[in-house]
Structure 1
Amino acid sequence: MTHSFSTPRRHVLRGLTLLALGAGMASASLAQAWPAKPIRLLVPYTAGSPPDMSSRVLATHLAASLQQPVVVENRPGAIGVVALQELLRQPADGYTLYCILTPVTTAPTLLPAQKIDLGKELQPVSQMNRIATVLVVNNDLPATDMKSFVALLRAKPNQLNFASTGNGTPAHLAGELFKSQEKVQAAHVPYASFSQSVPDLLSNRVQFMFMTSSVAVPLVNSGKVRALGIVGPTRLPILPNVATLAEQGMGKIDTSSWDGIVVKAGTPRAIVDRLNTEIVRILDKPEVKARFVEMGMQAVSSTPEELGALIESETVRWAGVIKAANISAD
């Protein structure tokens, strides 16, 4: 059967087509006009922290490629929620970026009253790096590898302490995951920052810590602590003689952390794509890769969809660990 459209219906269809074309042109025009002013990059940790260092490297190169200043703002507090709330107060226009990192994915579980929904509130742009975890111990501890360390923990249940930078932080979660897998007991001692926890590790007030490689590498290379293993799938080029836990028969456990760049949900896709293109290009530069290695991390980019999947999977993964270990944010 042949159908014919009435004149009014043709007008409606033509109008819808023009509307769609106009929206596409407007989005393209917006992307071409953006950025027309400085961009803010919110970092939910203090100056000098690993996410701050990587964000500043990215900001320098991003400013050069976009021909606009990219200003890093440190807004620590509440597992990243202080900075997150600042992002959500801003328009979804691509002028406010947020450095999301592993601890932020624990916020929905640790801070249920905040009703955080990362999937709905954020638009992923690109992963920025991957940071290995290194298990380090005080130099006086009579353990030189993972087998002797686990044997010591089993011989002295709850007599050894491990440090973290607070309840629910990656160092704490890594410790709880390790305790569960190896069926050992150790007391958790939370600190407010690395600057407080490291001196106590060096003085043997606490005996071990699951530390991000960016913090661990200088301490290991200076001989201040001993590295027993990499808590991830591969060795670190900067610590080539330190074997992974799996290589030492501890089973597969990966507590690597990561940073990424997101914007507020609703940001025009053309702007998201432009940001992604620039960030991927920057992270592929040899000098940027080398700088990240110097900081104890690996430059890693992604598509927006890949970062979104990572955020979702990490949120689910750490929620399980938090609930199993009965961890609270207090």
Structure 2
Amino acid sequence: MNNKHNPGISRRSLMAGMGGVALAAPASAAFPDRPVRLVVPYAAGGGTDVVSRLVAQAITARLGQPVVVENRTGGGVVGGSEVVARAAPDGYTLLVATTSHTVNPTLLPSLPYDTERDFAPVAMFSEVPMALIVHPAVPAADARAFLALLRARPGAFTYGSAGVGSTPHLAGELLRLLAGVDILHVAYRGNGQALQDLVAGQIQFMFDPVSTASALARSGSVRALAISTRAPSPVFPGVLTLEEAGVAGFDCRTWNAALAPARTPPEAVARLNEAVIAALAEPALRARFAELGANPGAPMPPAAIGAFITREIERWGDVVRRSGMRPA
């Protein structure tokens, strides 16, 4: 309201009104003052869902408000991502993004949102290495022997994944490109089906998060020959990484990060980032992550997460194009 055009309002009244607004601002600006929704674009019970629920529980106490996980699986990860991209940019709706978030811009060029412009990075949750696991009948005792076998018998070995563009699929295509091997891909409707066929001997190998791969390896249903990241995994002591086995530059993992709608206030983003970083430093949460074979996300500021996502889009976009990957 302009005092020049309202001569009936005195300067004292105007200043008093401004003072009232100033006093009310801290209460209205307090974040959060209601529950926060964490949208997970995957089914309940999967790795991303479990990690998200652990983080949600850990940051609830720090934020002073419930953080509620909502599984939105319609349309694959695109459906849940669109919900968040179109949500009010107030910090109360977050997306748990994974590697697929950075693959889709190249794999699915007609997305209903822009992967970078429509989201604001908030915090890293976790990173999970994968194990290259084979059926026990595969005649290779370690990664080097397996690579030699693949090169000696081009086109004879088939690997499975949770679907086109999934992280296990990316790992398989990265192996094909970097190791120069001729392997065949079978896309399943989820990792569980692929694992069933691997155990049954219908496919010969696949990449699987170390948490589920370790249980199968202990039972003797599969053998773990290599780790997908540059660093070894304590879940499989003594198992070489693929880079150590001779595949230079091989590094592939599943990661989880929280994103908010673009234009979310920086203060809300900072509050959420601080809460997640503090939660991931708690011994109890780190111990639970270790049981899952997950590594706590690096304590990165939002800008660094944005730069990481940009690099991932460029990196996996190159793999998608070079491999000729097409949506199912």
Instruction: Mark yes or no: TM-score above 0.5.
Output: yes
Correspondence for 2:81? 84
List aligned pairs for 1:55-94, cutoff 5 A: 55-94=52-91
| Cα contact 2:38–2:68 (8 A) shared by 1 | yes
List aligned pairs for 1:190-269, cutoff 5 A: 190-269=187-266
| Cα contact 1:79–1:103 (8 A) shared by 2 | no
Structure 1 runs of 4+ with >6 Å offset: 23-28
CA displacement at 1:287 relative to structure 2? 0.9
Correspondence for 2:301? 303
Correspondence for 1:53? 50
Given candidates 118, 130, 134, the residue that maps to 1:133 is 130
Q: 1:176 to 1:25 in 2, by over 3 A?
A: farther
Q: 1:262 to 1:147 in 2, by over 3 A?
A: same
State how far apart, in whole Å, the 1-side matches of 2:109 and 2:22 are. Answer: 39
Q: What SS does the aligned partner of 2:49 have? A: helix
CA displacement at 1:78 relative to structure 2? 4.1
List aligned pairs for 1:95-244, cutoff 5 A: 95-114=92-111, 116-244=113-241
CA displacement at 1:76 relative to structure 2? 2.1
Correspondence for 2:5? none
Q: What SS does the aligned partner of 1:270 have? A: helix
Q: What SS does the aligned partner of 1:73 have? A: strand
| Cα contact 1:79–1:104 (8 A) shared by 2 | no
Q: What SS does the aligned partner of 1:109 have? A: helix
TM-score (norm 2): 0.89
State, as a whole percentage, how many aligned pairs show the same letter: 38
State how far apart, in whole Å, the 1-side matches of 2:94 and 2:157 are. Answer: 41
> 278-287 or 76-85: which moved more?
76-85
| Cα contact 1:131–1:257 (8 A) shared by 2 | yes
Correspondence for 1:314? 312
Correspondence for 1:287? 284
State how far apart, in whole Å, the 2-side matches of 1:27 and 1:128 are. Answer: 32
Give the partner amino acid of 2:237: P
TM-score (norm 1): 0.89
What is the root-mean-square deviation of aligned Cα atoms in Å?
2.1
CA displacement at 1:250 relative to structure 2? 2.7
CA displacement at 1:30 relative to structure 2? 4.8
Gaps of 5+ in 2: 1-20
Gaps of 5+ in 1: 1-22
| Cα contact 1:31–1:270 (8 A) shared by 2 | no
Q: 1:90 to 1:155 in 2, by over 3 A?
A: same
CA displacement at 1:227 relative to structure 2? 0.5
CA displacement at 1:24 relative to structure 2? 11
| Cα contact 2:85–2:113 (8 A) shared by 1 | no
